[in-house]
Amino acid sequence: MEPKAIFEAVKAKFGDAVVELQEEGFRPAFLVVSPESVREVSLFLRDDPAMKFDSLMCLSGVDYKDRFAVVYHLYSLTIGHQIGVKAYLPREAPSLPSVDGVWPAANFQEREAYDLYGIVFEGSWDLRRILLPEDWEGHPLRKDYKYPEFYHGIKV
């Protein structure tokens, strides 16, 4: 299905939760949705027979300087089309529902986004830091991250 058609179908079902379609310069195209609706949209995209996006290729956090975003790249093994879903988040207390009930593959990648950006995924069955030590302070991939001077008394 073409991105425009997917956009129309999702907008028809979810209305205002679907904000816009980013197509020019974006490969694959992105459906921008509101953070609260991410879970429902994902379920629809996974289960609808015309969509059948059964594979979450990649889940990333992004720090656009004025806001965060969580980006999902979806792929359908049965139909063979790709789409992206993006949800913009405010910089203070970014959080949105977790999709690890929809695609279990999301779990580690959500933990990584939490670890490196501080984005909280509500309802995740296991949200802990994954790459950095449990007691690390700060979220390194943020654009305004200050490198710490000391860690456990050792000069870093």
* Cα 46-121-56 angle, rounded to 5 deg: 30
| Residue closer to other proteins (CB basis): 27 or 36 | 27
Residues of span 58-87 touching other proteins by CB under 8 A: 58, 60, 62-63, 71, 73, 77, 80, 82, 84
**CA–CA separation, 120 vs 25, rounded Å?**
29
Residue 63 beta carbon to other proteins: minimum distance, rounded to whole angstroms: 7
DSSP classification of residue 96: E
Which of these, 119, 31, 117, lies nearest to 72 by C-alpha position?
A: 31
| Tokens at 12, concatenated | 């028809």
Quickly count: other Cβ atoms within 10 Å of residue 142's Cβ: 15
Among 131, 138, 148, 151, binds other proteins (CB under 8 A): 131
- Per rule CB under 8 A, is residue 90 in the interface with other proteins? no
Residue 15 beta carbon to other proteins: minimum distance, rounded to whole angstroms: 26
Torsion of CA 47, 52, 89, 66, to 10 degrees: -170
Using DSSP's 3-state secondary structure scheme, residue 33 falls into strand
Q: Are 84 and 30 in contact (CB under 8 A)?
A: yes
Among 93, 133, 135, 153, binds other proteins (CB under 8 A): 133
Using the Cα atoms of residue 90, residue 70, residue 121 and residue 115 in order, give the sign of their dihedral: negative
Binding-site size for other proteins (CB under 8 A) equals 34
Residues of span 93-122 touching other proteins by CB under 8 A: 103-105, 107-109, 112, 116
| Residue closer to other proteins (CB basis): 39 or 129 | 129
| Residue closer to other proteins (CB basis): 15 or 80 | 80
For other proteins, the binding residues (CB under 8 A) are 25-28, 30, 54-58, 60, 62-63, 71, 73, 77, 80, 82, 84, 103-105, 107-109, 112, 116, 129-133, 140-141
